[in-house]
Amino acid sequence: MVGDRKRVIGTIAEKNRIIDNIIDVIVNREHFLLVGHKNPDEDCVSGLVGFALILSKFGKAPIVYLSHSMSKQFDYLLNICRYNSIQIVTSLEKGENPVDVIAVIDTPKPDMVDVSDYGRKLMVDEKVIKIEIDHHIGTDGAYIGTEGYCLVTEASSAAELVGHLAMKLSGRADLLRQYQVTDLFSRNLVLSLLTGIIADSNMGQYLKSKRERRYYEIFSNMFNTMLAKETIKASNFANMNEVFAELRQLTSNEEHCFRTMLNKRKKSKSIGYVIFDREDARRLFKDHDHDTVVSVSRTVADRLAEDSGKLGLVCYYDDTRYTDLVQFRLRRNPGYKGFDLRELLTVLSIENGGGHEGAIGFRFPRDEIEDLNTYVRSIIPKIESAVSRSE
């Protein structure tokens, strides 16, 4: 199949089979490398960021490869990666990071893939699954991915196809429950996808077929509704320019949220941690929307784990407009591999929690935690003891 001329996916059933195959890989494989084409445009970078965000919501730690520094116009997209703990690398060598899946986004043919020499060896390794997401049909476009894993068909952009995959995932209640995904279409994912769709279609002006216009309307309406509900007081937008301008403006809020949370850091022997009690959390959610706090809390936990050398813990009372819970996010330094964090769910008698060996989340009803500082002080010694026993 690799090198064959690209064609439109013939039936809905065939497309659904391909999407199901990709979802199976997302669930069952761990080490994802994301690459695009040489001299990437907005759609390519947006698709990479959007797919990386989806992977991160399902407990993966994707690596985005960009061989060169990006221009300033991509800063807000790269900042999304930064505040969602998505690693961007400009070099890739054997032994640095394991890879069992490569996702190639928005790339017409094999010789256009932007990847290192080591990456090219991975591209021909049969043990590595190659997912391909692309909308370039006709001319001299040729398949790059593994047969059965190529979401390649007519669309306004590669970002639209990433969005289509996300829509299918949003209907998998079993997986959303298993991975505790409550915000699949987060503002950052919407921003990424919308960037690609708008850029490649020139705000919809390049769309010709009824299908392309139909999906453009679906995404536009969905984003507008989400923005009105989640982040914007005035619910009406006159056009997509206003939606897009508002989206880009919102990204600048994340750095302030990051600094606010990190300023409260404390440290035990093995754990860097921050606590936002009721009043602290009230002020936090007054200044920052729910989506920003959720995504930045993961980044703060990673930063705390990096600084401590072992574990990072973020604890906060959630925004009562969304949940009546106290949230805990615990993440492990990638260099510290001696302890499976899921063991702590048993140690702490946690029933409402889950994750993978390097990152877990758990939560309690708000009325069960009278004083968050007191509760955290009570679990720190238990976590330290569990860490010591594993060494």
Question: What CATH number should be reported for the domain holding residue 331?
Answer: 3.10.310.30
Residue 231 lies in a domain: yes
The answer to whether residues 185 and 273 belong to one domain is: no
The average pLDDT across 234-252 equals 54
Residue 7 lies in a domain: no
**Domain limits at 84?**
12-247
Question: Virtual CA dihedral for 51, 52, 58, 62, nearest 10 degrees?
Answer: 140
User: Which pLDDT score, from 0 to 100, does residue 315 have?
Assistant: 97
pLDDT category of residue 245 using cuts at 50, 70 and 90: low
Domain boundary among 226, 247, 268: 247
User: Which pLDDT score, from 0 to 100, does residue 207 have?
Assistant: 53
The average pLDDT across 19-45 equals 93
pLDDT category of residue 186 using cuts at 50, 70 and 90: confident
The average pLDDT across 201-230 equals 62
Alpha-carbon distance of 280 to 257, in angstroms, equals 12
Give me the chain's average pLDDT, please: 85
- Does residue 342 or residue 270 have the better pLDDT? 270
* Closest to 379 (Cα-Cα) out of 339, 338, 349: 349
Domain boundary among 206, 222, 247: 247
Amino acid sitting at position 345: L
Q: What is the CATH number of the domain that holds 101?
A: 3.90.1640.10
pLDDT category of residue 232 using cuts at 50, 70 and 90: very low
The answer to whether residues 243 and 275 belong to one domain is: no
The answer to whether residues 239 and 263 belong to one domain is: no
User: Which pLDDT score, from 0 to 100, does residue 242 have?
Assistant: 61
Task: Give how many domains the chain has, as a whole number.
Answer: 2
Amino acid sitting at position 168: K
The answer to whether residues 290 and 351 belong to one domain is: yes
User: Which pLDDT score, from 0 to 100, does residue 234 have?
Assistant: 45
User: Which pLDDT score, from 0 to 100, does residue 238 have?
Assistant: 52
39-84, pLDDT tens digit by residue?
Answer: 888 889 999 999 999 999 998 989 999 987 776 767 778 888 888 8
Alpha-carbon distance of 242 to 249, in angstroms, equals 11
Domain boundary among 181, 212, 247: 247
The answer to whether residues 322 and 225 belong to one domain is: no
User: Which pLDDT score, from 0 to 100, does residue 88 have?
Assistant: 92
Alpha-carbon distance of 324 to 135, in angstroms, equals 42
The set of residues, in sequence order, having a beta carbon less than 8 Å from that of 288 and lying 6+ positions away, is 253, 256, 257, 260, 296
Q: In this prediction, what percent of the chain has a pLDDT beyond 70?
A: 85
Residue 66 lies in a domain: yes
The answer to whether residues 51 and 67 belong to one domain is: yes
User: Which pLDDT score, from 0 to 100, does residue 321 have?
Assistant: 86
The answer to whether residues 99 and 235 belong to one domain is: yes
Q: Residue 351: pLDDT above 80? A: yes
- Considering the entire predicted model, what is its pTM? 0.70
Residue 308 lies in a domain: yes
Residue 347 lies in a domain: yes
Quote the radius of gyration of the chain (alpha carbons, Å). 21
User: Which pLDDT score, from 0 to 100, does residue 291 have?
Assistant: 74
136-151, pLDDT tens digit by residue?
Answer: 886 678 999 999 999 9
